[in-house]
A and B are shown apart, each in its own frame.
Chain A
């Protein structure tokens, strides 16, 4: 009379794997969007040529470095510079003038992936003359992504797109002022990153670490289930100064969040919110 339902077994396998990861490393993926996390696991299973998830669990237990591999696989480092240019344009036109009055501007890029958004922010602030008084905190769960972001490198073949984004986002200078190239990569000027602090930070388990005037957390929450989203929003509320700004991904919205009331919609077209 044992259960033979394949779906049920698979769900259990996933649960076991996530529990294993949580108990062994402290990384909690249990509250990630289920469909997404299953796809990531399946992806890893394919790469490893493992017959089933249980095999992954076994390897997670006994094979050094395998857990890290799985965790890195859960991170989805998709990003680009000046992604959704209109968002940055809106930020530049309407938020930057407000920030201009501050003594010091603290900005947090939560889930910065490989840093493209951070570079964009730095360029924007530089052009607005605010970079020197800004402190940008760039964090991500993935160690690999953070390490790459720290280097300020972007593949050369993406730069045409980024240049277009830059121009659309209201760039006032020449984009080429900020980088040098070699045959494969683009290297952003060091001065852009001098006020940037890169660190590994897990939104699910780690605490607030400062008070910020601006928090960007774009296309990160979509991977979290509503409970977890609320938890992260709570973290943001704690970390935002009064009248601070929260920027989300262009498919994300605060409207359905428990904390919608704590913010006002700063822009009609862009997911930019201001803490009341």
Chain B
């Protein structure tokens, strides 16, 4: 365009006019010039020819004057006649030169020369000599002259010569006049021709200019009219273009119209491509065929040489995209068969969820063809999204770069295709479900059919069976006999088992009795040995004293042992009688002081009794048993403490500080007695052990401090019977704190509980609960994976804040909406308020106030909550615990410490819709 210099309409018209004007001016000059020539010719004819004639006549006159003067002089001899002669002689020469100069024709000039010669000859031969002779001779001459007429011939000759000269000159003049006439004719012709030419040029110019304007203009108008009235029904030929012949504003108009057409055509083509693509896959329901149709269509429409579509494999646990269809990949050799999110360029752009266009590829995989492979130049990777999730990715390659319109085309089609693909996926899923349900029905039918045939056949065979039955009956009689025998054996066994239980009880009773029987004689031995020891100084030697002391201490130890055995066996035998009564707790400090002050003094230890302020005076329990526990614990404390202090603190305990298993129990209030010593302490791993019968922290201790090791287990048993428990905090070498927790049970007042040996374990304290360790890496790995969890409401019930914290963090990361409560009661409260809010509950089992089992039972008792999934978190997945979980209503269980992935998997399973 740049090269074609624009020539505007104004320039065109102007130049047309200019051309005409120039031509007119040119004509004017031409005519003018021609006219001057004619004028000059005319002047020449008028001036030159006239002068020549005049001059020739003049010369002839002068010559005649000379002749006449000479003749007169000769005849007359009068001098006056010589006057014209001399004038003529003088003048003709002059005139002759003039004439000669005027005449340019050589012939004429020659003639003149001849005339001149003749004149001169006359003058020389006739004129002058005769005059001179006359002068000298006077008359004689006249006669001879007259006689001879000397020179007359010459004069005649001259005259005829002049005539001839003039004739020729006349001829010349005639010729020149003719030429002039001819010139004038030519001039007139030229003028007419020029006039015609100008006229024609003006016509041509105006025609050209108007045509170049009007024709394009008409085309433009027609096209615009077409566009204006264009509807889908009457197809518009958009490929047509306005032919551009000129280089003016009209060309621009044409160009603009052409651009408009190109634009419309492109848009139309774009729409056509989109429509073609839609049409190609419309009505296809199978995903594979759909993909094939789609990739073929877009590859063709976008001039691609190779294309592949990868569809997300929802069956995979990873974000796997599998090649579902290709275009031009008949050999199956090009491109990977699947990729994962983030894997490679395609995976990267799938992850970014954005379309990507590459141009001018240098090295890339080759597009296979029959004769070889061609390297591509342009590439597009476009993820297909549905509801923000990438469900497929296409990659297309082209031998040339992708144009902007190609890219827009791809962008436009994949949006719609995402929806189509997704609905195809859904449809396949529905079809699968349908088939499944059909096959299921089929199986049911088959089963019932089979049952029918079976029952028929069974009937047919029943006759045969009857005979067999008879035989069998005989056998069954035998069997019956046998079973009677078996039954008897069983009853005997049961009896034996009962006896065994009894005998164990007897054993305990025996032990109890035994120890009682042992005590009596032992007592006397002790007393006696003591006496001996005291009196030894006077009557026996030191050695005897020593022996007596040994006997005494041994006896005392033995007694203590027997006491312990007695107590324990009583408890175990269920012989313990518990008599609840009211006791005044204010009396307790005095009692303790009385009993232990002297021991403290003896060992040089401090003994402090601290009593909390808000303790009710009246405490309902078996006082004797309670004091026994306290005495045991204090004795222990004194026993194992060499220096420092021992203190006992009595305080009221709120429910929530109790162990979970006791928290919910019915009681007026709870009192804790903490006995704290600065003794040797107990290593952590032995804490549980020392409460078991016959155990001490280690053998060495036993040797050093004596004792049976039964004391603590008796304490524990007693405490349990009183509805309480004993706990221990201790650090080796620093000291120990035993705390007795007892309830005040006013409702048991006056009742006697003969406890049976229900040594049911109190649920273990939640010592082994572990905090979830959340590996960030692990969390990352799971990211996005569990999108079934997205937006689901989970209720965490756990008393451990650290656990809650960790769980909340992990589950929120999965997009769950987390709500946490600290115990069973709170859980029930929140469920009461919003029974249908939660999709799933995570239930810790070991909790204070109300444990997981009870909570679950109560949840299931609510009709609205019978189906809500509850995942129990068991501290230690013992089979018994699990059973209890399931019995109390858990849907599933997971053991602590929790494996996060496992937890998420379980959550996925239970929040998914069946």
Chain A residues proximal to chain B, CB less than 8 Å: 33, 35-36, 39-40, 43, 76-78, 151, 153, 156-161, 163-164, 167, 172-177, 179-187, 219, 222-223, 226, 251-253, 255-256
What is the CB-to-nearest-CB distance from A114 to chain B, in angstroms, rounded to a whole number?
10
In the complex, whether B582 has a CB less than 8 A from a CB of chain A is no
* A176-B450 in contact (CB<8A): no
17 of the cross-chain contacts (CB-CB < 8 Å) are A33-B453, A36-B445, A78-B439, A78-B442, A153-B315, A157-B914, A163-B892, A167-B886, A176-B909, A182-B317, A182-B908, A183-B314, A183-B908, A184-B788, A222-B450, A226-B457, A256-B457
What is the CB-to-nearest-CB distance from B884 to chain A, in angstroms, rounded to a whole number?
13
In the assembled complex, which residues on chain A have CB atoms less than 8 Å from the CB atom of B440?
A: 78
How far is it, in angstroms, between the C-alpha of A255 and the C-alpha of B909 when the chains are bound? 40
In the assembled complex, which residues on chain B have CB atoms less than 8 Å from the CB atom of A185?
A: 314-317
* B446-A161 in contact (CB<8A): no
In the complex, whether B877 has a CB less than 8 A from a CB of chain A is yes
Across the interface, name the chain A residue whose C-beta is closest to B902.
A176
Query: Given that A159-B912, A160-B914, A181-B905 are contacting pairs, would A39 and B445 also be in contact in the complex, using a CB cutoff of 8 Å?
Result: yes
In the complex, whether B438 has a CB less than 8 A from a CB of chain A is yes
Stretch of B54-62, B374-382, B893-901 on the interface side = B893-901
Query: Given that A33-B449, A174-B895 are contacting pairs, would A181 and B904 also be in contact in the complex, using a CB cutoff of 8 Å?
Result: yes
Given contacts A153-B315, A157-B913, A184-B788, 10 further A-B contacts (CB under 8 A): A156-B909, A160-B909, A163-B891, A164-B891, A174-B906, A176-B903, A181-B788, A181-B908, A186-B909, A223-B446
Contact of B905 among A33, A176, A226 (CB under 8 A): A176
Across the interface, name the chain B residue whose C-beta is closest to A34.
B449
In the complex, whether B347 has a CB less than 8 A from a CB of chain A is no
* B443-A78 in contact (CB<8A): yes
* A251-B914 in contact (CB<8A): no
The contact string, 1 if C-beta is below 8 Å from chain A, for chain B 762-784, is 00000000000000000000000
How far is it, in angstroms, between the C-alpha of A40 and the C-alpha of B446 when the chains are bound? 11
In the complex, whether B510 has a CB less than 8 A from a CB of chain A is no
* B912-A222 in contact (CB<8A): no
In the assembled complex, which residues on chain B have CB atoms less than 8 Å from the CB atom of A255?
A: 458
Chain B residues proximal to chain A, CB less than 8 Å: 314-318, 438-440, 442-443, 445-447, 449-451, 453-454, 457-458, 461, 785-788, 869, 877, 879, 886, 891-895, 901-906, 908-910, 912-914
How far is it, in angstroms, between the C-alpha of A173 and the C-alpha of B910 when the chains are bound? 17
How far is it, in angstroms, between the C-alpha of A40 and the C-alpha of B909 when the chains are bound? 33
* A187-B317 in contact (CB<8A): yes
What is the CB-to-nearest-CB distance from B489 to chain A, in angstroms, rounded to a whole number?
21
* A76-B317 in contact (CB<8A): no
In the assembled complex, which residues on chain A have CB atoms less than 8 Å from the CB atom of B449?
A: 33, 35-36, 222
In the assembled complex, which residues on chain A have CB atoms less than 8 Å from the CB atom of B445?
A: 36, 39
How far is it, in angstroms, between the C-alpha of A184 and the C-alpha of B318 when the chains are bound? 11
In the assembled complex, which residues on chain B have CB atoms less than 8 Å from the CB atom of A177?
A: 902
Contact of A183 among B787, B886, B895, B901 (CB under 8 A): B787
* B439-A159 in contact (CB<8A): no
* B446-A76 in contact (CB<8A): yes
Query: Given that A167-B886, A256-B458 are contacting pairs, would A156 and B908 also be in contact in the complex, using a CB cutoff of 8 Å?
Result: yes
In the assembled complex, which residues on chain A have CB atoms less than 8 Å from the CB atom of B451?
A: 251
What is the CB-to-nearest-CB distance from B903 to chain A, in angstroms, rounded to a whole number?
8
In the assembled complex, which residues on chain B have CB atoms less than 8 Å from the CB atom of A36?
A: 442, 445-446, 449
What is the CB-to-nearest-CB distance from A181 to chain B, in angstroms, rounded to a whole number?
4
* B879-A156 in contact (CB<8A): no
* A176-B317 in contact (CB<8A): no
How far is it, in angstroms, between the C-alpha of A174 and the C-alpha of B104 when the chains are bound? 146
Across the interface, name the chain B residue whose C-beta is closest to A175.
B892
* A174-B877 in contact (CB<8A): yes
* B315-A251 in contact (CB<8A): no
Contact of A157 among B785, B886, B912 (CB under 8 A): B912
* B443-A76 in contact (CB<8A): yes
What is the CB-to-nearest-CB distance from B299 to chain A, in angstroms, rounded to a whole number?
26
How far is it, in angstroms, between the C-alpha of A156 and the C-alpha of B316 when the chains are bound? 12
How far is it, in angstroms, between the C-alpha of A33 and the C-alpha of B908 when the chains are bound? 41
How far is it, in angstroms, between the C-alpha of A186 and the C-alpha of B443 when the chains are bound? 25
In the assembled complex, which residues on chain B have CB atoms less than 8 Å from the CB atom of A226?
A: 457
How far is it, in angstroms, between the C-alpha of A177 and the C-alpha of B892 when the chains are bound? 12
Contact of A33 among B450, B879, B895, B912 (CB under 8 A): B450
In the assembled complex, which residues on chain A have CB atoms less than 8 Å from the CB atom of B912?
A: 156-157, 159-160
How far is it, in angstroms, between the C-alpha of A180 and the C-alpha of B909 when the chains are bound? 10
How far is it, in angstroms, between the C-alpha of A173 and the C-alpha of B874 when the chains are bound? 12
Task: Give the 8 A-B CB pairs with smallest separation, nearest first.
Answer: A159-B909, A181-B908, A222-B450, A176-B906, A78-B443, A182-B317, A181-B905, A156-B912
How far is it, in angstroms, between the C-alpha of A50 and the C-alpha of B897 when the chains are bound? 59
In the assembled complex, which residues on chain B have CB atoms less than 8 Å from the CB atom of A77?
A: 439
What is the CB-to-nearest-CB distance from B792 to chain A, in angstroms, rounded to a whole number?
12
How far is it, in angstroms, between the C-alpha of A177 and the C-alpha of B902 when the chains are bound? 6
How far is it, in angstroms, between the C-alpha of A251 and the C-alpha of B451 when the chains are bound? 7
Query: Given that A157-B914, A167-B886, A187-B317 are contacting pairs, would A182 and B785 also be in contact in the complex, using a CB cutoff of 8 Å?
Result: yes
Query: Given that A39-B442, A180-B901 are contacting pairs, would A172 and B788 also be in contact in the complex, using a CB cutoff of 8 Å?
Result: no
What is the CB-to-nearest-CB distance from A178 to chain B, in angstroms, rounded to a whole number?
9
* A160-B869 in contact (CB<8A): yes
* A161-B442 in contact (CB<8A): no
Query: Given that A77-B439, A256-B454 are contacting pairs, would A160 and B315 also be in contact in the complex, using a CB cutoff of 8 Å?
Result: no
In the assembled complex, which residues on chain A have CB atoms less than 8 Å from the CB atom of B903?
A: 176
What is the CB-to-nearest-CB distance from A99 to chain B, in angstroms, rounded to a whole number?
21
Contact of B910 among A78, A160, A167 (CB under 8 A): A160
* A184-B315 in contact (CB<8A): yes
Across the interface, name the chain B residue whose C-beta is closest to A46.
B438
How far is it, in angstroms, between the C-alpha of A275 and the C-alpha of B678 when the chains are bound? 72
In the assembled complex, which residues on chain A have CB atoms less than 8 Å from the CB atom of B904?
A: 181
In the assembled complex, which residues on chain A have CB atoms less than 8 Å from the CB atom of B446?
A: 33, 36, 76, 222-223
In the assembled complex, which residues on chain B have CB atoms less than 8 Å from the CB atom of A186?
A: 905, 909
What is the CB-to-nearest-CB distance from B372 to chain A, in angstroms, rounded to a whole number?
31
How far is it, in angstroms, between the C-alpha of A219 and the C-alpha of B450 when the chains are bound? 10
Contact of B788 among A78, A156, A187, A253 (CB under 8 A): A156
